[in-house]
Amino acid sequence: MERYVWKDRELGTIMLNVRITARHFIFRVKDGGIVVTMPPFAKIQDISKVIDSNRLKLQVMLQAAKAHKNVFDEGDIIVTHDFMVVFNYLPSSQIVYRLQNKCLYIGCPSKFEMTSPDVQNIMINGLKKFVKRSAEAYLPSRIKELSASLNLRYNKASVTFGRKRLGCCDARKNIKLSYYLMFLPDHLIDYVIYHELAHLTEMNHGEFFHYLCNRYCNGREQELRKELREFRFPID
């Protein structure tokens, strides 16, 4: 895929992606900027004309971008704890998933538009299965390792699908962690685990709880909590 940069006074930098199979212009917003998928036969005057004729629409798209979830296209990458995810097109009849050498390749049939909502849902749902599988292999062992280092005991550890609630610990000392942790860097994964380990001793979020959590985090609880709140997950 060929890529070009188009500068616009109002809309800023616009990325132009030339796709051989494209028959018309497709607009989307990614990372705060406009990305245009265009057919190979388009000329400069065509690009200028289509941007001007869609200017109001593009301005609205930019304004609403923060409320929209990510849309993945050819060449996009997601980094998880255990593997990297790469999106591409393949000459196949269905969406293909191939995990090899710590890289999950998600192949979209060339006859489909990868950025369409239906295709996005299928690809992301498939991705979630791989991430959950890796979470079930890693997170329980990591809890065991960190709890042992603190001489703490819990009852059972399990992995959940939660997006907004990344972890919880109940009165029976059962700890649940969301597979979404696998999108976090290692130190934030450990922070969430330490947070739940602190609940083994103190179930509420009072002063003593924060004392324990901060001690487990080597004095970085507030810093790590702030970083986690600001972290943007690649999928919903």
> What's the mean pLDDT in 97-110?
96
Which of 169, 167, 193 is closest to 178 using CA atoms?
A: 167
> Is residue 10 predicted with pLDDT exceeding 90?
no
Name the residue with higher pLDDT: 1 or 221.
221
Which pLDDT belongs to residue 137? Answer: 98
Contact 224, 188 (CB under 8 A): yes
Q: How confident is the model at residue 69 (pLDDT cuts 50, 70, 90)?
A: low
Backbone angles phi, psi at 215, to 5 degrees: -65, -45
Go through the domains of the chain in sequence order and give each one's CATH number.
2-67 (no CATH), 77-131 (no CATH), 138-230 (3.30.2010.10)
Q: Given pLDDT bands bounded at 50, 70 and 90, which one contains residue 124?
A: very high
pLDDT tier at 225, thresholds 50, 70, 90: very high
Q: Which of 70-74, 174-178, 196-200 has the lowest mean pLDDT?
A: 70-74
- Assess whether pLDDT exceeds 70 at residue 65: no
pLDDT (0 to 100) of residue 29: 83
Question: 98 with 77: CB under 8 angstroms?
Answer: no
Q: 28-42, 85-99, 131-145, 177-191: lowest mean pLDDT where? A: 28-42
So what's the pLDDT on residue 1? 65
Is the Cβ–Cβ distance between 60 and 216 less than 8 Å? no
- The string of pLDDT tens digits covering residues 70-81 is 789 999 999 999
How wide is the angle at C-alpha 108 spanned by C-alphas 103 and 109, nearest 5°? 140
Q: How confident is the model at residue 30 (pLDDT cuts 50, 70, 90)?
A: confident
Q: What is the 3-state secondary structure (H, E, C) of the chain?
A: CEEEEEEECCCEEEEEEECCCCCCCEEEEECCEEEEEECCCCCHHHHHHHHHHCHHHHHHHHHHHHHCCCCCCCCCEEECCCCEEEEEEECCCCCEEEEECCEEEEEEECCCCCCCHHHHHHHHHHHHHHHHHHHHHHHHHHHHHHHHHCCCCCCEEEEECCCCCCEEECCCCEEEEEHHHHHCCHHHHHHHHHHHHHCCCCCCCCHHHHHHHHHHCCCCHHHHHHHHHHCCCCCC
Average pLDDT, the chain: 92
40-44 CB contacts, 8 Å cutoff, 24+ apart: 42/18
More confident site: 56 or 66: 56
